[in-house]
Structure 1
Amino acid sequence: MPARARGADKDVGGREPDTLGRTCQPHAALEAALLALIAERPLSRITVSDVSKQADINRSTFYEHYDDLPTLAAEACARASSTNSSPPPR
């Protein structure tokens, strides 16, 4: 069996490969981009191209993860509300 090159199992930054992390990166980038755009204008005036450009992701990548903009909006809002929720004060 041939010897493996040192660091061959690491990515460019020297980190261990993380399939889950790579999968989540486009989701997080697209959600953040959508939320930033919603702060500027209504959802009805935001397009997939706008979100993709803001997230620095190709439109085809958007469609690999979401069927449409309302699906992304629902997921982003659900995640934002779940991360911003805190227990009631005592």
Structure 2
Amino acid sequence: MPYALFCHDAQISKAYPSEADVWQLAQQSGLVVDVSTDDQRHGPRRVLDNDYEIKPCRAAQGEDPARNKAEAEQQSRMELALNS
């Protein structure tokens, strides 16, 4: 089942093959923050900023989550090359 980024129950990203793929996209977009731990956890934990959530979703008609992932990875590599 594909996953996407949501805000207030509205899907705001393309569908991606796994939840981990959406976490990576959110991290690159600056939407992931580290929060302090509670007594039961060691070290900081990652959470999504504001009201963002990662949820399972259906891919839109004609949408290919694997292609979305490949395009996002290619764009990330191009941005790294431009910034170096």
Question: Shorter-chain TM-score: which interval?
Answer: 0.3 to 0.5
TM-score by length of 1: 0.31
Which protein has the bigger strand share?
A: 2
Larger radius of gyration: 1
Q: Relative contact order (alpha carbons < 8 A, sep ≥ 6): 1 or 2 greater?
A: 2
Which protein has the bigger helix share?
A: 1
